[in-house]
Amino acid sequence: MLDIRRISTSRWWHKKKSWTFLGIFLFLVFVRFSKGSIYKDFYYFISKPFWPGQFQKEVILKSIKQESLINSTLLKKDNIRLREILSLQESSNNDYISAAVISRKTGSWWRQIILNKGLKDGVEIGSAVIGPGGLLGRVKNTSLFTSSVTLLTSPESKLGVWVDRIQINGLLVGVGDNYPSLILYSKDADIKVGDFLSSSPASTLLPPNIPIGIVQSVDEPSKAKKTAKISLLAKPHVIDWVQILKVKNFNE
């Protein structure tokens, strides 16, 4: 009796397995001929609760608007830069000499640019060099056809500046990186991030009110002075044309 039950159970199991394999085979044949449409429809329904909702839609739309705004801003900056380049190319007069940047060393310790104007064009040592945005530096030496400019970021550069909001003079010193240091010889000076720097009205080497930079950060005051890091308005690593301001006494 036991053997009969075992044989009956075994036949039933094999029969069940056969139907299972047959069912799988027919399903695969159906998927093959339907080109997976049933699978796609099935995936459609089970994934529907996880579709991006209104929040995700708002995020995407916001990202698209931000991208459009950034592209628009970049185009405006490019247009301004091109206008400034054209202006610098065409604006040579008795006080300014327009010059092209033919070489630059803006990433090394001795930061300088070389211009395509020199002694034959009237360039003198000490002349201020201005680019789109503001002051870049001063002419250090000249040859017959070229001139070398020491940038405000160079450790060789020391320049008197004016902090307009608090009406105080300071000393801008290059430290070999992109952010020169402003020194105010008063620990009580109310210098703040965002304050604007220009050339000093007391300078005998530069005309007043040439834009220079903006205070990026303020250091802890020492016993006798206060210092700050300055973000320059003129960027020498992207400037192609400059103006050389002829040397004269601006305090006469």
pLDDT digits over 75-95, tens only? 666 666 555 555 544 444 567
Predicted confidence band at 1 (pLDDT cuts at 50, 70, 90)? very low
CATH number for the domain running over 94-245: 2.40.10.340
pLDDT digits (tens, 9 = 90+) for 168-192: 999 999 998 889 999 998 878 889 9
Residue with tokens 């206008």: 83
Percentage of the chain surpassing pLDDT 70?
60
Average pLDDT rounded to a whole number, residues 220-225: 78
**Whether the predicted pLDDT of 39 surpasses 90:** no
**Whether the predicted pLDDT of 47 surpasses 60:** no
Distance CA 247, CA 250 (A): 9
pLDDT digits (tens, 9 = 90+) for 135-155: 999 999 999 999 999 999 999
pTM of the model: 0.62
* Window from 17-31, 154-168, 235-249 with minimum mean pLDDT: 17-31
Q: Report the 10 Å Cβ neighbour count for 111.
A: 25
Strands (E), the chain: 96-105, 112-115, 128-131, 134-142, 147-151, 158-163, 168-173, 181-184, 196-199, 211-218, 226-232, 241-245
